[in-house]
Amino acid sequence: MAFVSAKDMINKAHEGHYAIPAFNTNNLEWTQCILKAVEQAKSPVIIQSSEGAAKYMGGYKMVAKMVKELHDAMGITVPVALHLDHGTFEGAKACIEAGFTSVMFDGSHYDIDENMAKSKEIIEIAHSQGISVECEVGGIGGTEDGVTSNGELADPAECKTIADLGVDFLAAGIGNIHGKYPADWAGLNFERLNEINEAVNGKPLVLHGGSGIPFDQVAKAISLGVSKINVNTELQLVFADATRKYIEAGMDLEGKGYDPRKLLKPGCEAIVAKCVELCEAFGSAGKA
């Protein structure tokens, strides 16, 4: 199975009432762990990179080559899409050139007319090359790549406007937040999600900030049209936790415990286990 666009896997998930996990990658090990986990869980996957993470890894071409090479070298059989997360107009165009199979153009900080015009242009360019597109209406709470948004609720009428442009899947703010959820978080706003789902006429929806949302809320969101769930923070937390335990136990000082292949192993195993757990929770396990 080669690299694919995210369109078919998301449409199938939408029809089958489950969601495709979209795991953010941060480096080589992250990518290996995600691929290992989805192959084990027999789940289709979207591997995504923010613009900041891509810069950290050496640029869009580097990311595209790394994910493709690992996919081939590991003999991955499940469908894999490589997606740009929260892309700018220029970033989305660059990723289309660099070999990504899917891009997000996040025009949620523009007024709706400008968001629409820019979204339309990206959709035209991407679709002419068989690349899927995600757009966004209404900000997602929290901070990502230095941009902070208050998690406004998306306007269903604006969602319909962008959905009607032919976008493949749509991110809409429904009280979700990037990063750790605060203890007093009000939960997802299902009333608004329901209104958006009705307004967009069966267009698959994307849930950003998928880390730490209770699984009963995840299941309800899927029943209301969510077919892609983004997870980044949760993988970072389990990696950091396992690595801290290894170092605090003095394991790096025993033998060659400082070798990065040993030092990073517990964190990597924790990422794999978390990805498998989330594939099961999102219902995508066994669907490849």
- The footprint of ligand 13P (CB under 6 A) covers 24, 85-86, 178-179, 208-211, 230-234
Contact present, 131 and 155 (Cβ < 8 Å): no
First and final CA of the chain: distance in angstroms? 10
How far is residue 262's CA from residue 256's CA, in Å, rounded to a whole number? Answer: 8
Nearest distance, CB of residue 106 and ligand 13P, angstroms: 9
How far is residue 127's CA from residue 131's CA, in Å, rounded to a whole number? Answer: 5
Q: Which H/E stretch holds residue 137?
A: strand 132-137
Q: Which of 8, 85, 111, 164 is catalytic?
A: 85
Nearest distance, CB of residue 24 and ligand 13P, angstroms: 6
85 labelled catalytic: yes
Q: How many CB atoms lie within 10 A of CB 240?
A: 12
Nearest distance, CB of residue 23 and ligand 13P, angstroms: 9
How far is residue 126's CA from residue 269's CA, in Å, rounded to a whole number? Answer: 35
Nearest distance, CB of residue 229 and ligand 13P, angstroms: 8
Contact present, 177 and 213 (Cβ < 8 Å): no
Q: Which is nearer to ligand 13P, 145 or 280 (CB)?
A: 145
60-96 burial, b if ≥16 CB within 10 A, otherwise e?
beebbebbbebbeeeebebbbbbbbbbbbbebbbbbb
* Active site positions, annotated: 85
